[in-house]
Amino acid sequence: MTASDEAEYTGDVTPGGPAAVRDLPAMSITKVAVDEKMANNAYLLCCRRTGEQLLVDAADEPGVLLELVGDGGLTTVVTTHQHWDHHRALADVVAATGAEVVAGEPDAAAITEQTGVPVARTVTDGDTITVGDCTLEVIRVTGHTPGSICLLFDERPTGGVPHLFTGDSLFPGGVGGTFGDDDAFTNLIDDVERKIFGRLPDETWFYPGHGKDSTLGAERPHLAEWRDRGW
C-alpha cells in the first residue's frame, strides 16, 4: 500500500506502515521503512517514461521490497555503504530480479563478503547511474565508511530542485556516525560541507538512510555547530 503524492509527500514512514510516494515529472520516488529495530529507509526510483526501476539500499524485508518492485522488474540495486543493516535483503532481491549491484569502490569487497553477492559495478565521484531516462550522479562522501556514496537527481535543468539520497552520511540534525574516530569525522564533515552544502542550493531535498527527510536549507545554519561538537 502506498500513500501521498508530490503535493502531500513528507517522507515520514514507519516500519510496517505504508510507503510514501513522490511523483516528480520524470521520476517517481517510493520510500519505505523496514525492520522495527533499525528503521532503515529503502527507496524505489522509477523512470516515469520507460518504467525502469532502481532500488537504493535493499536493507531488509525482501518481501516488502519485492512487492514494491511488482511486475515492473528491477534493473539496479545501489548499496550506499557497507554496513550490514543496509544490505540484508540484497541477496534475495537480486536472486528474484537479476538486478545489477552497484556500490562505492572502497566498500564493494565488504558488501560482497557480507552478502555473498558480487558488486557488478563500482562507482566514485562524478560517475553516473541511469534509471531509464533519469540520471543519478554519484557523490562519494568518506567518513561514515570509506566508500559511502550519495546519489543526486538534479531537476534544476527542467525547473525543479535537486534530490539527494544520502545513505547514512547526512541526516536531519547532523552527519553520520564515525564511532569516535576523529579523523573520520573530519573527513565526513569536510566532504559534506564541500561536496554537498558547498555545491547544492537550500531547496535541495535529501533522503537519508533512516528517519525523516529534510532540506539543505533547514540544516545549513547548523554546520558550524556540528563541526564544533564533533559528531
pLDDT computed for residue 26 by the predictor: 98
pLDDT at 1: 33
Could you tell me the residue range of the domain that residue 182 belongs to?
Answer: 2-229
Separation between Cα atoms, residue 199 and residue 173, nearest integer Å? 19
Q: Using one digit for the tens of pLDDT, what is the confidence trace for 124-159?
A: 999 999 999 999 999 999 999 999 999 999 999 999
Q: What is the pLDDT of residue 193?
A: 98
pLDDT (0 to 100) of residue 7: 59
Q: What is the pLDDT of residue 208?
A: 98
Contact indicator for 40, 210 with CB cutoff of 8 Å: yes
Outline where DSSP puts E strands in 64-161.
76-79, 100-104, 121-123, 128-131, 134-140, 149-154
- Predicted pLDDT at 166: 98
Round to whole Å and give the CA distance between 145 and 160. Answer: 31
Residue ranges of the chain with per-residue pLDDT less than 50: 1-5
| CATH code for the domain in which residue 20 is found | 3.60.15.10
Task: Quote the cell numbers at residue 2.
Answer: 502506498
The total number of structural domains in the chain stands at 1
Amino acid in the structure at residue 58: A
Model pLDDT, residue 8: 87
